[in-house]
Structure 1
Amino acid sequence: MARHLEIAHDLMEEIDEGRYAPGTALPTEDQLMSTYGTSRNTVRRALRELSSRGRIDTRQGSGSTVREYRPTVHLASSVKGEPDDERYTRYVERIKHEQGVEPTQRLRVIVEAATGRLARLMELDPSHTAGFVVIRRCDRYIGPRLWQRQLSYYPDFIAKGESKGAALMQPEDIPRGTRELLAELGYPQTKSWDVVGAKMPSLKDSALFGIGPGTPLLVHDRMAYSGNTPIRFTKTLMPADRHQLLYFEGDMTPESLRKATDVNIYDH
């Protein structure tokens, strides 16, 4: 093993074992050079390795500190009695509890033809007048930082089929939730599937979310049906160092859910 990787491995073990807690400073370059009897260049390569893995933050002239993670919970299961999985009011409550700040959101509505994978998933033909989707894009921010982007796609014939469906066309939050709205329109959700994965962000994604080196992007896809009719496809994009997914089974009390949202997977 190369010398700089040996040093990085030692430091990672000490971080994992709690010798260096989140937010605390690592030994200086001079101290590490003395400890390992090696050159400054080797020490810097070791620190760059830790930085690329998302374990430390390094600032010129300020040294290196162990990175502190305070992820928020993305509720990935339906809650009994709640009309929608990610209503903004619930999201605000969780963020205020977990991060100590109140997030903001920006909603945008777009109408476009369904093509490719989306057309296949939603069983729409873009060559037909009914082959369009209404996209509700919700960007959620903590301060100036984009924290989460959620894109929800609805068949055009639902959004424009009745007067109530016009709410989907407005760039405003729907307090009762889109799930309840769909039921009012005659499309109660009866089943759904989820796919969750992680991918390295594109340069555009890195700039959009302010993602540092070594951090993947979590992608949560959900397709909802009413009977066998696709009624909503939702894609949620989340930097993996800021989010953790919560799934549960059975009846959960509010207290049990609160305890679950307090879990931080980065804690030792």
Structure 2
Amino acid sequence: MSTSRKTVVADHLREALTRGDYQPGDRLPGEEELAERFDVSRATARLGMRILQDEGRITIQAGRGAFAADHQPIIHLATPISGGSDSERFEAGYQPHLREAGYYQVDEKIKVSLDTMRPKVAKRLRFDADENGPYGGLVVIRSCDRFVEGGLWQSQVTYFPFSIANNTALMSPERLDEGVSAVLRELGYREDWNWDIVGARMPSQDEADSFGLGPGIPLLVQERVAHEGERPLRFTETIMPANRHQLLYSGGDAPEELLLMASDVNIFER
């Protein structure tokens, strides 16, 4: 069986799905029809279909055939809304939204550690090795992995300068019900502004295994640095499989019901 031949089958079906030839739930041509159309064996046609199954583009049901997947990516609220909650408030915002989408086994695991700043973190937090005293090079790392139906769904890591987080609730491996920003306010720090960068990259093999990703599915990476004036208070990196998430940004005085209003928006619609 030739890898190139199964790729031809996969590419044809992928292009047809992208054009909108098949709507969510539509049945795709079977193995026998694809084998005849592309002059390959049924086994090769089956492998081509499995490529798209691994990508999340189709579902294969034993005895029934293959169907165009009904993509329902979850809205990730990338910016806080007035009176509402951001993506870091698990119980108040993220968890209920997942349950409304039909996911009921939703959990969150939090770990806290202390380490020296890696170059990437030092760059985001604009750390100078000659500043901030003997503990300036230390960073408190608050890791949060979110699981849906037992599988890793989203991974979020926040880095705080030790001088800010030491001996505070930020070092406790407990859920912060009011969110990180509220804890910082209680400590006397005000998040005046922040900047985000969002990009996509292919996962490492370890990441693909952790998220249960098939070939061809990239990760969305959202980086945020929050400042008080010119001083960076924290750096947060959120990693999300691109086929399961879509980021929602708002501007101006967005209403509290924005998340509900946008809940049926789907970038896979054509």
TM-score tier after normalising by the smaller chain length: 0.7 to 0.9
Match of 1:93 in 2: 96
Change (3 A) 1:126 1:61: farther
* 1:71-92 per-position Cα deviation (integer Å, ceiling 9, x unaligned): 1111111212347552112111
1:227 equivalent to 2:229? Answer yes
1:153 equivalent to 2:155? Answer no
CA contact (8 A) 2:58 2:67 kept: yes
Match of 1:214 in 2: 216
**1:29-178 paired onto structure 2 within 5 Å:** 29-34=31-36, 36=37, 38-40=39-41, 43-44=45-46, 46-47=48-49, 50-51=52-53, 54-57=56-59, 63-82=65-84, 84-89=86-91, 90-125=93-128, 128-160=134-166, 166-178=168-180
In the alignment, the residues of structure 2 paired with residue 101 and residue 250 of structure 1 have an alpha-carbon distance, to the nearest angstrom, of 33
Change (3 A) 1:51 1:143: closer
In the alignment, the residues of structure 1 paired with residue 38 and residue 254 of structure 2 have an alpha-carbon distance, to the nearest angstrom, of 55
What secondary structure sits across from 2:177 in the alignment?
A: coil
Change (3 A) 1:199 1:32: same
- How many residues align structurally? 262
> Quick one: which of 160, 181, 184 aligns to 1:182?
184
In the alignment, the residues of structure 2 paired with residue 260 and residue 15 of structure 1 have an alpha-carbon distance, to the nearest angstrom, of 24
* 1:45-80 per-position Cα deviation (integer Å, ceiling 9, x unaligned): 653564565423457887533233221111111212
In the alignment, the residues of structure 1 paired with residue 72 and residue 62 of structure 2 have an alpha-carbon distance, to the nearest angstrom, of 24
Deviation at 1:138, TM superposition (A): 0.7
Change (3 A) 1:7 1:121: closer
CA contact (8 A) 1:71 1:244 kept: yes
What secondary structure sits across from 1:99 in the alignment?
A: coil
In the alignment, the residues of structure 1 paired with residue 224 and residue 200 of structure 2 have an alpha-carbon distance, to the nearest angstrom, of 15
**RMSD, matched Cα:** 2.8
What secondary structure sits across from 2:168 in the alignment?
A: helix
In the alignment, the residues of structure 1 paired with residue 164 and residue 33 of structure 2 have an alpha-carbon distance, to the nearest angstrom, of 65
* 1:94-145 per-position Cα deviation (integer Å, ceiling 9, x unaligned): 1111234251101111111112121122133568322211111111111211
Deviation at 1:252, TM superposition (A): 1.9
TM-score when normalising by structure 2: 0.85
CA contact (8 A) 2:78 2:86 kept: no
CA contact (8 A) 2:82 2:256 kept: no
Change (3 A) 1:95 1:122: same
